Amino acid sequence: MPEELVGTVTDFFAHPVVAGIELTATLKVGDKIHIKGHTSDLELVINSMQIDRVDVSQAKSGDSVGIKVSERVRRGDKVYIVTD
pTM assigned to the model: 0.94
Q: What is the DSSP letter of 78?
A: E
Q: In degrees, to the nearest 5, what angle opens at C-alpha 30 toward C-alphas 57 and 50?
A: 35
**Is the Cβ–Cβ distance between 27 and 7 less than 8 Å?**
yes
State residue 1's pLDDT score: 76
Q: How far apart are the first and last CA of the chain?
A: 6
Give the tens place of pLDDT for each residue, 18-66: 999 999 999 999 999 999 999 999 999 999 999 999 999 999 999 999 9
Set out the domains of the chain in order of their start, with CATH numbers. Answer: 3-82 (2.40.30.10)
**Is the Cβ–Cβ distance between 35 and 69 less than 8 Å?**
yes
